[in-house]
């Protein structure tokens, strides 16, 4: 449905302009649909100004057509502006570090404001920033409420009450302490605001003291009282201008949702799940809200969660029914929850959680240049960051689950590809071991968690063991035994879904964006470091190497934050096992390819990024359809290797045959759509042959042009040739798509 195109062109359809997009793993996910395949019910809601949305048609065998696209790159002017602003802040931060030289006092920045910063910026930078902001406002103006308005025109309206459960770090945290010296921050946000950034710079020690929980109890430290902000304002924007849930809230409002039939269930993401109930009675209040909605509306509610919020919902399902906890009984979920929308849920954890807790590092910091790292280290060193994160037990809930059975070993991993040089299963490869504090061999995921517990402080080790578990229950008896163990409730491989036959689960997540999968570790270069292990940022691989390694971080498939294995395994395979899903709850998966627009810093309407996907138009449409009681319109769409990967995971058991039969794009055997697509085989082979010819021609051109040139010239020529080659491939793929569409019309 191209309603925006019709609206903007007087009711006439118009072909949107060609937009260069970046699909970071294009060879796996070309976007050309096959002839004869079923048109998806998820309508395109991208306006002409924003460009076309890719039609991810169910039943397409995407691996056969290898369409390649241009990687998004910021313009040189914009890159220069960002570099200049970053340099200015870097100079300020570096200057602040030399407090003992009296170059400047931290008190000087106590009243720092955006206006004072703008006063010292060159006019050119300010103008460029203003132009970018203007373009963003124009894009937002044409895009806001578009999905909701279109679905309202279709006749969709608010049906089931909606409760949204945000992810980690999404909720703002406010200070409610009245003791000195934190009294000056009363009701100010120390997380999720510009005030947070200023406080981090001007009063680092007190900010750190406020955000860290007590290491022994996992609750508030003496004299500190930080609480989660409440209401829609708690999660709609992280800081001014950076939306998170705002677009979903806008579109829900368009079809009739408001504070009387929708709610944001914000929570303090620093707390362990058990302490969420102990300190804030979070799950008790959530249960009461749900019961009130069901009682007043007569409808079961729809739960919409994102990232860590999906783990919170899964834990809630166990808590609410358990005797001595929620006391709801075995039918509570069946009687109160109609749908569970799991958006980018880290059901099996996040790889980046291990290095974050081990050494305070993630790719976000490992990739910073030396100057930026210098300023960052002066305020929050690796040791500081590791200490802060360890004192937030909620962060530890996202450690990878399933051990070597899911994540692989030193020689193998289920998500390895045939041409990989190294396995993802060697999660932590040791490169330099100067003080013999590191293991003698490479670490698996399970070995990394064991090493972290063995080498960390007792308080941290006790917190992990008391609250979380990372194994696999291989039998139904083990699963049943875990029903009474709260530390198991966050792990879907050790506990089961509730017995709720009418519940519907929807898994929506992005793919096609490089994501942290494994690491190279070494001993710290500084002999005085309190850490035993750090990422070896000297390790890099050449362009095109599989897997790609960037400053010690080995990249895999996912949405930029959560790996495909974590986001997709339970949805496509794990919850097909009877012991994990005894009521045979229907689970529908819809994958969305990451195709960011070149000049949109948030990726545009086709992004698959972990956070930015909340603004993706097709995702918003699916959320609204489920809430409006039209979830059956959504057709399961799996375009990644997740089904193949799931078959390789070393977990077995009895499965629900009807769910496996309903799966689309299953790797073994044909689906109902395959027969209709077989007549496309010959054209696919022709396209593959053209791609091979393009590759050979490109290699020949590069080889001839590289002789006698410097390394920099070679790299620049390579990039130019790649751009030309990929543009040609895009044009050919577009032409083929047009031909396919014409063939489909003739067939119809």
Catalytic residues: 307, 559, 610
Residue in 653, 530, 518 with CA at minimum distance from that of residue 580:
653
Task: Give the C-alpha distances (Å, rounded to integers) separating 154 from 3, 149, 167, 218.
Answer: 11, 9, 31, 49
Provide the H-helix boundaries in 552-616: 564-572
Residue in 18, 19, 69 with CA at minimum distance from that of residue 722:
69
Task: Give the C-alpha distances (Å, rounded to integers) separating 736 from 550, 560, 664, 729.
Answer: 35, 30, 24, 10
DSSP 681-737: HHHHHHHHHHHHHHHHHHHHHHHHHHTT--HHHHHHHHHHHHHHHHHHHHHHHHHHH
Q: Pull the structure tokens for residue 187.
A: 């009701």
Which of the 8 DSSP states describes residue 255?
T
Contact 51, 19 (CB under 8 A): yes
Burial code (b: 16+ CB inside 10 Å, e: under 16) for 686-707 equals ebeebbeebeeebeebbeeeee
Dihedral pair phi/psi, residue 706, rounded to 5°: -80, -20
308 Cβ contact partners less than 8 Å away, ≥ 6 residues apart: 167, 168, 269, 346, 394, 397, 398
Q: What whole-number distance in Å separates Cα of residue 671 and Cα of residue 90?
A: 56
Preceding peptide of 121 cis, ω within 30° = no
Contact 506, 631 (CB under 8 A): yes
Residues β-bridged to residue 228: 173
- Tokens 């081990």 correspond to 358
Residue in 718, 686, 678, 682 with CA at minimum distance from that of residue 702:
718
Element (H, E) at 556: strand 553-556
Contact 239, 198 (CB under 8 A): no
Q: Pull the structure tokens for residue 389.
A: 């994160």
First CA to last CA distance, the chain: 18
654 Cβ contact partners less than 8 Å away, ≥ 6 residues apart: 577, 578, 579
Q: What whole-number distance in Å separates Cα of residue 65 and Cα of residue 737?
A: 11
Q: What whole-number distance in Å separates Cα of residue 181 and Cα of residue 445?
A: 42
């Amino acid at each position: 449905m191209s309603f925006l195109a019709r609206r903007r062109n007087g009711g006439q359809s118009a072909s949107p302009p060609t937009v260069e997009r970046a699909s970071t793993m294009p060879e796996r996910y070309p976007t050309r649909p096959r002839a004869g395949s079923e048109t998806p019910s998820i309508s395109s809601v991208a306006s002409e100004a924003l460009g076309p949305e890719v039609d991810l048609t169910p039943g397409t065998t995407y691996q056969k057509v290898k369409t390649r696209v241009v990687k998004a790159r910021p313009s040189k002017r914009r890159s220069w502006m960002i570099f200049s602003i970053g340099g200015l802040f870097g100079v300020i931060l570096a200057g602040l570090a030399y407090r003992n030289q009296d170059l400047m006092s931290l008190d000087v920045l106590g009243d720092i404001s955006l206006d004072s910063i703008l006063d010292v910026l060159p006019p050119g930078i300010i103008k460029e920033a203003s132009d970018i902001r203007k373009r963003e406002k124009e894009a937002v103006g044409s895009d806001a409420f578009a999905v909701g308005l279109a679905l309202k025109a279709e006749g969709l309206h608010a049906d089931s009450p909606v409760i949204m459960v945000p992810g980690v770090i999404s909720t703002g945290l406010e200070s409610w302490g009245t003791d000195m010296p934190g009294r000056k921050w009363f009701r100010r946000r120390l997380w999720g605001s510009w005030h947070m950034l200023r406080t981090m710079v001007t009063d680092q020690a007190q900010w750190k003291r406020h955000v860290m929980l007590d290491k022994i109890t996992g609750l508030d430290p003496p004299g500190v009282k930080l609480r989660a902000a409440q209401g829609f304002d708690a999660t709609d924007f992280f800081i001014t201008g950076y939306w998170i849930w705002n677009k979903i809230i806008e579109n829900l409002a368009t079809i009739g949702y408001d504070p009387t039939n929708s709610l944001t269930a914000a929570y303090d993401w620093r707390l362990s799940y058990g302490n969420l109930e102990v300190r804030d009675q979070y799950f008790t209040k959530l249960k009461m809200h749900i019961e009130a909605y069901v009682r007043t509306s007569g409808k079961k509610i729809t739960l919409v969660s994102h990232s860590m919020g999906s783990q919170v919902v899964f834990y809630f399902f166990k808590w609410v029914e358990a005797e001595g906890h929620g006391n709801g009984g075995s039918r509570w979920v069946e009687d109160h929850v109609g749908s569970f929308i799991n958006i980018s849920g880290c059901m099996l954890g996040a790889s980046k959680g291990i290095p974050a807790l081990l050494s305070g590092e993630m790719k976000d910091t490992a990739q910073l240049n030396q100057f930026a790292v210098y300023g960052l280290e002066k305020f929050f060193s690796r040791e500081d960051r590791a200490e802060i994160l360890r004192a937030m037990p909620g962060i530890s809930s996202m450690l990878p689950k399933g051990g070597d059975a899911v994540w692989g070993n030193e020689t193998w991993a289920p998500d390895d590809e045939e041409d990989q040089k190294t396995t993802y299963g060697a999660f932590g490869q040791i490169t330099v071991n100067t003080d013999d504090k590191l293991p003698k061999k490479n670490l698996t995921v399970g070995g990394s968690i064991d090493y972290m517990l063995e080498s960390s402080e007792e308080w941290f080790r006790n917190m992990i063991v008391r609250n979380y578990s990372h194994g696999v229950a291989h039998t139904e008896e083990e699963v049943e035994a875990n029903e009474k163990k709260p530390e198991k409730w966050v792990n879907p491989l050790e506990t089961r879904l509730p017995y709720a036959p009418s519940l519907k689960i929807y898994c929506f997540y992005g793919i096609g964006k490089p994501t942290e999968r494994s690491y190279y570790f070494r001993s710290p270069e500084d002999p005085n470091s309190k850490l035993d292990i750090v990422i070896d940022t000297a390790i890099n691989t050449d362009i095109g190497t599989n897997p790609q390694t960037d400053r010690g971080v080995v990249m895999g498939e996912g949405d930029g934050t959560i790996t495909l294995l974590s986001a997709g395994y339970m949805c496509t395979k794990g919850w097909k096992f009877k012991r994990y899903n005894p009521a045979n709850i229907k689970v529908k998966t819809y994958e969305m390819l990451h195709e960011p627009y070149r000049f949109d810093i948030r990726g545009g309407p086709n992004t698959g990024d972990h956070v930015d996907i909340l603004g993706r138009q097709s995702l918003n449409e699916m959320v609204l359809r489920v809430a409006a009681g039209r979830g059956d319109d959504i057709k399961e769409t799996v375009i990644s290797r997740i089904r193949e990967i799931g078959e390789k995971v070393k977990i077995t058991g009895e499965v629900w045959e009807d769910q496996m039969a309903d799966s689309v794009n299953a790797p073994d055997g044909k689906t109902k759509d395959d027969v209709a697509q077989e007549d496309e085989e010959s054209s696919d082979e022709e396209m593959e042959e053209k791609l091979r010819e393009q590759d050979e021609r490109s290699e020949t051109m590069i080889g001839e042009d590289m002789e006698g040139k410097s390394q920099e010239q070679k790299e620049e020529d390579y990039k130019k040739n790649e751009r030309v080659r990929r543009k040609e491939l895009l044009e050919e793929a577009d032409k083929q798509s047009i031909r396919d569409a014409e063939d489909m019309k003739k067939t119809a």
